[in-house]
Chains A and B, each alone.
Chain A
Amino acid sequence: MPKHLVTLVAQRALLAGVILLLWWIGASRLPSFVLPGPQKVAQALVSLWDSETFALDILTTCRRVLLGFGIATVVGTVLGLALGASRLLARFFEPMLALFNTVSSAIWAIFAIIWFGISDTTTVFVVFMTAMPLILTNVWQGAQTVEAQYVDLARSFHMSPPQILLKIYGPTILPYFFSGARLAFGFGWRVSLVAETIGASNGIGYRLRQAADLVQTDQVFAWTVLLVGLMLVLEGGVLKPLERRLFRWKAFSLSSRPASLQTN
């Protein structure tokens, strides 16, 4: 293993140790309904794992987030491309974006309750309203950076407008889309829990509120630990590798050149 990797692992382990220690000290001085200790949270995690609704709750929340995020991706990309293609459309609709960006997700959640009541739609709607403007803005921004020179090049090789969209617009916009989608997914995931605490009868958010209502603080902690773990796995196991693969062509211009080329 390279030396810098060993150092990194050691640093992370030390950080985790310090946090656990502080947590343990804090918990030993406070009542457990305020701050349950690591051991109690671990027990709560195990009992969560064994409970009947555990898998269903996670799947339900994931389904809502993915549905809202999926619709936001399609709508945001299409609208972003449309605004990028037409200056007139862009000027006309620009204030709408400011509106979307200033209305907080909590307000969308209240509206969703009024409009859709306790249902899947409530959470899906809140995720959609949070994620869609982020994707739209990024795709629009990406569409504006498309080089007219590349479009002319494609035209000179007799490419059709759909081909130009696919072969020039697509790759130019992809990095923008990716960073927008990543942000949108993170936000969408977090607000889905908020929406579920008030507008659902199952799912992770609902269980969190249930645990809080019953002052089962150890359960709240257990869910939190679980969610953090889930996001880390998603980030390191899916998003990072995907990004590396998609944007290989950029990688070399940054710091990842083979060391032999950097030093003389």
Chain B
Amino acid sequence: MNLAVSYRSSPYNPGHAVLGMPGIGMAPALAVSGIAKHFGQQTILGGIDLEVRPGEIVALIGPSGCGKSTLLNILSGLLPPDAGHISIGGARTTGFDDWRRVAYMFQEDRLLPWRTVRDNVSFGLEGSAVPRGERRRRTADALRLVGLDGVATAWPHELSGGMRSRAALARSLVVQPAVLLMDEPFSRLDPQTRSQMHDEVLRIQADSGMTVIFVTHDMEEAVVLADRIIRLAPHPGRIVEALEMEDLPRPRIPTEPEVAERIRQLRVRT
């Protein structure tokens, strides 16, 4: 993996052979149509259609109860929808095995306390038939990518919140995902560490060309990271608008007037 810091200028990076699926061209990285989910009498999601382009960064926002976390769980393959279809890389999914190139970063870091940082990262590969040597190499790469190669043998409880977050990110990246899903992954960090993690995600995304879809409550996070912001509303959970952010130049620093204005506009809408 390349370590060069290069901020993306366009969401379309021609190097999308990184996805390992040659010939898919512009097929959406992830597409859903007519996704519905009920819990008892309540309709959590009522017919969601969404297409995410390869290499795109999409934020899902909305008030609590709008079903954005449920939608992310469905996109991750962990929660089956009651109706609708999901396609990954242009191919209709039939079973959980089709989700092997989709990584899910939970809201909590969920580092296993009985494993060292290195073993926590390699945990990401232990469910796949990756030979031991390659697993070791990819684990080392992922640790270097997030800057944790110096603490590979430390225990999770010895790490700061930011380092734990990096370890969880490395564990998701070690599977070399085509799509990375994140559920408010940095919400528990202090503002400074959170913005460092934003830089990390953008840098890694630019190098790998992976698609990123994340849920957030933080409008600043949405504006700083996303190419497109999808706003959902509750009762039943549905998409009410999609805001294109591609015209906003990067890097986006929240204190710059243009960026601050977008954040303000977004707060007014919600």
Contacts from A to B (Cβ < 8 Å): 149-150, 152-160, 163, 167-168, 171, 248-250, 252-253
CB–CB B158/A252 < 8 A: yes
Interface residues as binary, B105-125 with A (CB distance below 8 Å gives 1, 0 otherwise): 010101011111000000111
CB–CB A150/B128 < 8 A: no
Residues of B within 8 Å of A155, CB to CB, are: 78
Interface of B is mostly: loop
How distant is the Cα of A227 from the Cα of B175 in the complex, in angstroms? 54
Residues of B within 8 Å of A159, CB to CB, are: 126-127
CB–CB A152/B112 < 8 A: no
B residues 71-120 near A (Cβ < 8 Å) are 76, 78, 96-97, 99-100, 103-104, 106, 108, 110, 112-116
CB < 8 Å neighbour of B127 from A149, A157, A171:
A157
Residues of B within 8 Å of A150, CB to CB, are: 110, 112
Answer whether residue B157 sits at the interface, using C-beta atoms and an 8 A cutoff. yes
Q: A167-B123, A171-B112 are in contact. Are A249 and B97 (CB under 8 A)?
A: no
Q: What number of A-B contacts does a CB cutoff of 8 Å give? A: 52
Task: Tell which of A150, A152, A154, A158 has the most Cβ of chain B within 10 Å.
Answer: A158
Smallest Cβ distance from B169 to chain A, in angstroms?
14
How distant is the Cα of A150 from the Cα of B97 in the complex, in angstroms? 20
How distant is the Cα of A159 from the Cα of B126 in the complex, in angstroms? 7
Residues of B within 8 Å of A158, CB to CB, are: 96-97, 99-100, 127-128
Smallest Cβ distance from A112 to chain B, in angstroms?
39
Residues of A within 8 Å of B175, CB to CB, are: 157
CB–CB A153/B157 < 8 A: no
Smallest Cβ distance from B170 to chain A, in angstroms?
13
Residues of A within 8 Å of B100, CB to CB, are: 158
Chain A, Cβ-Cβ closest to B174: A157
Smallest Cβ distance from B69 to chain A, in angstroms?
13
CB < 8 Å neighbour of B157 from A157, A167, A252:
A252
Chain B, Cβ-Cβ closest to A153: B110
Residues of B within 8 Å of A152, CB to CB, are: 78, 106
Q: A149-B108, A150-B112, A152-B78 are in contact. Are A167 and B158 (CB under 8 A)?
A: no
How distant is the Cα of A108 from the Cα of B217 in the complex, in angstroms? 62
CB–CB B126/A149 < 8 A: no
Smallest Cβ distance from B267 to chain A, in angstroms?
31
Smallest Cβ distance from A158 to chain B, in angstroms?
4
Residues of A within 8 Å of B128, CB to CB, are: 157-158
How distant is the Cα of A153 from the Cα of B128 in the complex, in angstroms? 14
CB < 8 Å neighbour of A253 from B97, B104, B114, B157:
B157
CB–CB A154/B155 < 8 A: no
How distant is the Cα of A250 from the Cα of B113 in the complex, in angstroms? 8
Smallest Cβ distance from B26 to chain A, in angstroms?
28
CB–CB A157/B110 < 8 A: no
How distant is the Cα of A168 from the Cα of B115 in the complex, in angstroms? 11
Smallest Cβ distance from B52 to chain A, in angstroms?
19
Q: A149-B108, A152-B78, A157-B175 are in contact. Are A249 and B114 (CB under 8 A)?
A: yes
CB–CB B110/A252 < 8 A: no
7 contacts between A and B (CB under 8 A): A150-B110, A152-B106, A158-B100, A167-B126, A171-B112, A171-B115, A249-B113
Report the 4 A-B pairs with minimum CB-CB distance, sorted nearest first: A158-B127, A159-B127, A157-B127, A171-B114
CB–CB A163/B110 < 8 A: no
